[in-house]
Chain A
């Protein structure tokens, strides 16, 4: 059992593989403790706040659980998508800030294919897969642009992905949504027209609006895991990630086409993040609104960091963040600002950034102080 779990979970054959699970958990716990102190400082009750937060998060059964649960999974599917977008690139040694851009490119593509005439009349079982394929291509190409610039021109992906985010935003919000894709004035709708019935993601838990997005993203997560840990392709990408600091000389020497792999990695990252935008448009908004202001792309970075860039970790972190966000609006009933859960998220990321320190402490706790911790962690050379 242990062996199976360990391999499925991280695919790593480290001695202290469970450290990779424990460190994020401890970080999250610390974040909640610091969050409690913050609430206390502002003169409110952390008990009430956390009770409301988790009561409405959808994680635990309780009143109105069904609707909270469905809202949580709806949010989570989008956070998992953008989190994977970051994590996939990170596996290949790329720091992808572009998930926000991929997300909105996915959203606008889904909206267009959802309402545009030749597609809108198709039956659902053709129309919906067609939209998903379109979204994957659009998001993937948007991601691959940054990959191409990195591979062929050596421009750092942090710069290009940030710039491409803005290009996507203004192409969409300052041109498409108020220009060619604008809904007719008579309809009184701001933004693009609404998508046709056949483009909507089927609901799976009526009367809530939970739809199949969570199933799609779980399947995608499994595919990504399989790709990384069961195929040569994934192995090559991981090799690039591991040797990043040495300019990827080792994979090059081993005959890996690093340039091509970089472009492919960014394509996959962009495609997965774009799915999140499609979920938003096809399952929640049913149109591309004049102002999107999502932020899912940037939260995806937090999700990936908390999830340690591992597919399963991203899923769990995505569910955690989705739950926090779902409970977030309810803490307002206790007169706690809606941004409070973001503070917890921020602290969790902060503690993850300190993970070497936390790891060091935990190791000390576990092993006592007799042996050198450095060697235990496999980091020190003897």
Chain B
């Protein structure tokens, strides 16, 4: 009895020992690190949100670094074919090529982590550029930029703010904003042509400025094509809960909507789930990235996606560091320079060629500055839509 126990104890000790000893000598050789190092701090959404954070990571890891993330950690190089496949149609002409930088990504588990994460990237990893993804990092990037004047920072979706919440413009921060209302307008126009019931739905995450711009553009697009279309909109209050998105979609569908657009991050995944379960004639419209390419959502019933090229903005910011052409300030990514757009997905199946031409014409008019789209949803009521398209 006693011996048996001793044996068990011995076995446990040996097993634990093996765990530690087995790996101790395997000090991995560091690959030769490229000269320029780019750090990125995600918001609490983190890697795998299929939208905003993943888009920024594509700009950094896939394009600028030409590597792919191995599930669980680490990078491996990708082939030229994979690299080309990762570039969306509307950016093919932008000459995106590998910049040979090395990436260091820190995810944040909590809002409190932003500043320590940035500090780790600046102090320990000596990154040349630190990217903060999302408006939630506005304060953290603002504070850190003042603390580390020798490091460059990039902030996506917001201007940096100081500890009192005042907007600041330090000489080492570049902020990228997007004209979400422009791509929202285009998917709104597509939705207006695609709907058969004359009712469309809108699911928002939280009413923060970028989401409000999406909504304003979407409403304006619908109004331009057909002012009689009824819009049922709703904010779920979350960017991370697909269940809420699903229940919102169910309720809108039960009220007669057949085309739904969401600007709600991962909450919107629930909308696609709901649409996939029903199939035709319901259409979903994706947000931020081309969700029609995502096999985990609902590629068969994704009408289009309003594209917001966070990946391209990230790539541009890194390119400016590599080319040593960094400028501080705010940069607004527009339809004109490829910062926003809409994805082709199933547009050709739902719309006639004539209708597609009209949407394309509206797109060109917007690029030429013939008309402007409102940025705040209440302004859409008093806004006069363009007529000759």
Interface, chain A (partner B; CB < 8 A): 33, 36-37, 40, 42, 44-48, 56, 63-64, 67-68, 71, 74-75, 170, 173-174, 178, 183, 185, 187-190, 193-194, 197, 200, 207, 209, 280, 284-287, 289-295, 325-326, 328-330, 332-339
Of all chain B residues, which has the CB nearest A48? B23
B369 CB–A CB distance under 8 Å: no
Write the chain A residue with the least CB distance to B75. Answer: A335
Chain A residues, Cβ within 8 Å of B120: 56, 64, 329-330, 333
Query: Known: A291-B206, A293-B111, A293-B240. Is A329-B116 also a contact (CB below 8 A)?
Result: yes
Selecting from B90-98, B162-170, B308-316, the interface stretch reads B162-170
B22-47 with Cβ < 8 A to chain A: 22-24, 26, 44, 46
What is the CA–CA distance of A46 and B24 in the complex, to the nearest angstrom? 9
Report B366 CB to chain A, min CB distance, Å: 24
11 residue pairs bridging A and B, Cβ less than 8 Å apart: A46-B23, A71-B112, A74-B112, A188-B161, A189-B165, A285-B111, A291-B239, A329-B109, A332-B105, A332-B107, A333-B120
Chain B residues numbered 92-145 whose CB sits less than 8 Å from any CB in chain A: 104-113, 115-117, 119-120, 123-125, 135-136, 139
Measured CB to CB, the nearest residue on chain A to B43 is A291
Q: Is the CB of B19 within 8 A of A280?
A: no
CB pair A290–B206 under 8 Å, yes or no, is yes
Structural contact, B107 and A329, CB atoms closer than 8 A: yes
User: In whole angstroms, what is the CA distance A287 to B44 when docked?
Assistant: 17
Which A residues are CB-close (under 8 A) to B163?
194, 200, 286
Additional A-B contacts beyond A207-B147, A338-B46 (9; CB < 8 A) = A44-B23, A45-B24, A46-B19, A47-B23, A74-B112, A284-B112, A286-B164, A294-B111, A334-B73
Contacts of B107 in A (CB 8 A): 329, 332, 338
**CB-contact partner of B136 in A36, A173, A291, under 8 A:** A291
The reply to whether the CB of B74 lies closer than 8 angstroms to some CB of chain A is: yes
A338 touches B112 (CB 8 A): no
A33, A44, A290, A326: the one within 8 Å of B208 (CB): A290
Complex partner residue of A336 from B22, B73, B123, CB under 8 angstroms: B73
**A190-B23 in contact given A284-B112, A293-B44 (Cβ < 8 Å):** no
B23–A280 contact, CB under 8 A?
no
Contact A325 B109 (CB under 8 A): yes
Q: Are B110 and A325 in contact (CB under 8 A)?
A: yes
A281–B104 CA distance with the chains assembled, in angstroms: 29
Given A170-B237, A187-B165, A194-B164, A209 contacting B115 (CB threshold 8 A): yes
Asked whether A190 and B117 contact (CB < 8 A) given A286-B163, A289-B111, the answer is no
Partner of A187, one of B108, B123, B167, B239: B167
B355 interface contact, C-beta 8 A: no
Q: Are B206 and A194 in contact (CB under 8 A)?
A: no
Partner of A37, one of B19, B44, B135, B136: B19
- B284 interface residue per 8 A CB criterion: no
In the assembly, what is the distance between CA of A330 and CA of B125, in Å?
A: 11
Give the distance in Å from the alpha carbon of A174 to the alpha carbon of B205 in the complex: 11
Q: Are B112 and A75 in contact (CB under 8 A)?
A: yes
Query: Taking the complex as formed, is B279 at the interface, i.e. its CB lies under 8 A from any CB of chain A?
Result: no
Please report the C-alpha to C-alpha distance between residue A126 and residue B253 in the assembled complex, in whole angstroms: 54
Inter-chain contacts of A197 with B (CB < 8 A): 164
Cα distance, A330 to B72, chains bound together (Å): 15
A46-B112 contact, Cβ under 8 Å, with A194-B163, A197-B164, A332-B105: no
A351 to B20, CA, bound (A): 22
Q: Is B292 an interface residue (CB 8 A)?
A: no
Residue of B with least CB distance to A67:
B119
Determine the distance from Cα of A45 to Cα of B28 in the docked complex, in whole angstroms: 10
**Distance A47 CA – B116 CA, assembled complex (angstroms):** 23
CA distance A12 to B386 in the complex (A): 80
Known: A188-B158, A280-B112, A338-B107. A289 touches B124 (CB 8 A): no
Of the candidates B104, B165, B238, which one forms a contact with A183 in the assembled complex, judged by CB atoms under 8 Å apart? B165
Is B238 within 8 A of A295, CB to CB? no
Which chain B residues border A45 with CB–CB below 8 Å? 23-24, 26
**Residues from 287 to 339 in B contacting A, C-beta threshold 8 Å:** none
B106 and A190 contact, CB distance less than 8 A: no
Q: Given A45-B26, A188-B158, A332 and B136 touching (CB < 8 A)?
A: no
A328 near B109: Cβ-Cβ < 8 Å: yes
**Cα of A56 to Cα of B125 in the assembled complex, Å:** 14
Is the pair A291, B238 in contact by a Cβ cutoff of 8 Å?
yes
| Closest Cβ neighbor of A299 among chain B residues | B110
Residues from chain A with a CB closer than 8 A to the CB of B139 are 285-287
Residues of B within 8 A of A333 (CB): 104, 106, 120, 124-125
Is B344's CB within 8 Å of the partner chain A?
A: no
Expressed in whole angstroms, the Cα–Cα distance for A291 and B111 within the complex equals 10
Q: Given A329-B108, A338-B109, does the pair A287, B116 have CB atoms closer than 8 Å? A: no
Assess the A326–B116 pair: CB atoms within 8 A: yes
